[in-house]
Amino acid sequence: MLELNAVSARIAGIPVLRGISARFDAGGTIAVVGRNGAGKTTLLRLIMGFVPLLQGNAAFDGRDLATVPARDRVRLGIGYAPEDRVMFPTFSVEENLRFPCEVIGLSRRDVDDRLAQTLDIVPELKPMLPRSGAALSGGQGKMAALGRAIMAGERLVLLDEPFQGLAPVLAQQYSASLQRLIAARPRSCVVITESNRSLLGDVPTRTLVLERGELSQEAAPA
Ligand SMILES: Nc1ncnc2c1ncn2[C@@H]1O[C@H](COP(=O)(O)OP(=O)(O)OP(=O)(O)O)[C@@H](O)[C@H]1O
Ligand SMILES: [Mg+2]
């Protein structure tokens, strides 16, 4: 599905990603683990098109991502839950969830269907729907950001360190949602970053290790 080939990126002139090659195939959850500053967030932002690709290439279903501007990547079925989650405070949680699908012009009916599927995958969101996007706790915000990424990311869901600071009960619910997500959408792939790999438990089907901007090894499946 997503193939990175010797990808490099710089931020403020400093090399942050160096010659990264990796395949992200459907039907699994791929963890990218690495210390603080290793480049995990930059990798996800590069896939979203928020960080320019300096060298190498990235292809999604064989299509060169260099030809797809950031604003069109959601249309490819890529959803993203950033580290700092960002919910629109003047929207309800439901409006926040629907928003990316509305922006890409999905019909009301399709958005309703996706919302129903998302609520099956993350049932904890149901009671939150009418609440303001500004009225969520940190953990609830992470569940909502997961829901929003699932709504948009029919093929690829990118999650930046969702387990950081999540209480154990919520972390369990989050993991269960990821399992339901892959079961419900076998054609999709989940990429999850983490600096503390013990937080991931048995969630990943594959683990990549990012060290100072280089993908240093591919650990055996857990
Ligand atoms: N806006 C920025 N300006 C300058 N340097 C930056 C900027 N954003 C990131 N960097 C640098 O790029 C490198 C990779 O950062 P990145 O945020 O991708 O790491 P990370 O693995 O996500 O770290 P963390 O675990 O702390 O979230 C770091 O060395 C960081 O200092
Ligand atoms: Mg980060």
- Tell me the average pLDDT across 95-106: 93
At residue 86, the pLDDT reads 79
Work out the pLDDT band at 85, boundaries 50, 70, 90.
confident
C-alpha 5: how far from chain center: 20
At residue 193, the pLDDT reads 97
pLDDT in tens, 3-44: 999 999 999 999 999 999 999 999 999 999 999 999 999 999
What ligand is nearest to the CA atom of residue 51?
A: 1
How close is the Cα of 3 to the center of ligand 1, in Å?
A: 22
Residues 157/217, Cβ–Cβ less than 8 Å: no
At residue 22, the pLDDT reads 94
Residue 32, amino acid: V
Residue in 8, 10, 14 to alter for ligand 1 test, most ligand atoms within 8 A of Cβ: 14
Candidates 214, 144, 142, 177; CA nearest to 29 is 177
Work out the pLDDT band at 218, boundaries 50, 70, 90.
low
Question: d(Cα 76, Cα 59) in Å, to the nearest integer?
Answer: 12
What ligand is nearest to the CA atom of residue 15?
A: 1
Question: d(Cα 131, Cα 210) in Å, to the nearest integer?
Answer: 37
pLDDT at 102 over 50: yes
pLDDT at 217 over 70: no
- Tell me the average pLDDT across 124-139: 94
Work out the pLDDT band at 222, boundaries 50, 70, 90.
very low
- Tell me the average pLDDT across 198-203: 90
Non-local (6+) Cβ contacts of 29 within 8 A are: 178, 182, 189, 190, 191, 192, 203, 204, 205, 206
pLDDT at 220 over 60: no
Residue in 17, 42, 211, 215 to alter for ligand 1 test, most ligand atoms within 8 A of Cβ: 42
* Six-digit token string for 25: 């195939």
For atom 8 of ligand 1, which residue has the closest CA?
A: 11
Q: Is any ligand 1 atom within 6 A of the Cβ of residue 111? A: no
pLDDT in tens, 184-194: 999 999 999 99
pLDDT in tens, 159-180: 999 999 899 999 999 999 999 9
How close is the Cα of 162 to the center of ligand 2, in Å?
A: 10
How close is the Cα of 135 to the center of ligand 1, in Å?
A: 29
- Tell me the average pLDDT across 89-109: 94
Question: d(Cα 124, Cα 164) in Å, to the nearest integer?
Answer: 19
pLDDT at 59 over 50: yes
Closest ligand 1 atom to residue 39 Cα is 18
For each of the domains in the chain, give its residue range(s) and CATH number, in order of start: 26-52+66-219 (3.40.50.300)
118 half-sphere exposure, CB direction, 13 A CA radius: 29
